[in-house]
Structure 1
């Protein structure tokens, strides 16, 4: 019977319905599909201080079995710099332990909280120069 189900592809239908259920029904699945172009089902491993949720499903290929769903507050304006360094190591297989189980990752008071890359925004870093420019703009005669 199991071979017949697999032969007819009904196991893929069950996987689809499980993914729809895990992503919050039809509307939640459509929202997830719109935001990340992929509909997956997995085990919630943890959440970071920015609100990103990290999942794992070992039924997928290695390299595709760990993923992040970015916080809803960023909408479609998300990028890789919004992943905290601890979770970056877990996502990229530097460690198999999530940050909350890893004893080698102490948190000291001098360590800063992670910040996203602000390039392209009005909060981007702009260096201040105290030297005179070597090339000056040309002023046409009046």
Structure 2
């Protein structure tokens, strides 16, 4: 009985998220459009699902992704990015796509998180800013 109530609570939460947010997976409009016109093309290693169906105003096949969790375009790997932007007509799921040896593995954009890049001297980095060299002296309040 408790498990059924939890399941219904999760279903209700998902319904409300689809109704009122666009950044949590898909909206109701996207769900309906996908149901009507979408054909699943593939899925990436992050759980994002890619679809194709209908046509754009330019006559190209419409392509879209339903993100697993938070909608963040930086979670689309390079092979799928190329397919989404019409650089190739063959999706990575239909070919033996392998990244070139010089390509680094995909990393999501960390901006705004604790893992974001913070250069030396940033106020977000512990410690003191390095002393300026050369003919420039940094202004210090009270001097």
**Partner residue in 1 for 2:86:** 93
Taking structure 2 as the reference length, the TM-score comes to: 0.60
**Partner residue in 2 for 1:140:** 142
Question: How far is the alpha carbon of 1:120 from its aligned partner?
Answer: 1.6
Q: Give the direction of change, closer, same or farther, for the CA distance of 1:119–1:64 in structure 2 (3 Å limit).
A: farther
C-alpha distance in 2 between matches for 1:81 and 1:32: 21
Q: Structure 2 matches for 1:15-54, cutoff 5 A?
A: 31-32=17-18, 34-35=21-22, 36-37=26-27, 38-39=29-30, 40-41=33-34, 42-54=38-50
Aligned-residue Cα RMSD (Å) equals 3.3
Q: Given the alignment, which residue of 64, 67, 76 partners 2:64?
A: 67
Q: Which has the higher contact order (CA 8 A, sep 6+)?
A: 2
1:127 aligns with 2:123: no
Q: Secondary structure at the match of 2:55?
A: coil
Structure 2 unpaired stretches of 5+: 1-12, 122-128
Taking structure 1 as the reference length, the TM-score comes to: 0.60
Q: Secondary structure at the match of 2:120?
A: coil
Question: How far is the alpha carbon of 1:101 from its aligned partner?
Answer: 2.3
C-alpha distance in 1 between matches for 2:50 and 2:103: 22
CA deviations 1:22-59 (Å, max 9, x no partner) are: xxxxx9776545434532120111111111110000x2
CA deviations 1:89-112 (Å, max 9, x no partner) are: 000111111113234x43467643
Give the 4+ runs in structure 1 shifted more than 6 A.
27-30
Q: Secondary structure at the match of 1:65?
A: strand
Structure 1 unpaired stretches of 5+: 1-26
Q: Structure 2 matches for 1:81-120, cutoff 5 A?
A: 81-103=74-96, 105-107=97-99, 111-120=103-112
- How many residues matched? 111
C-alpha distance in 1 between matches for 2:16 and 2:90: 31
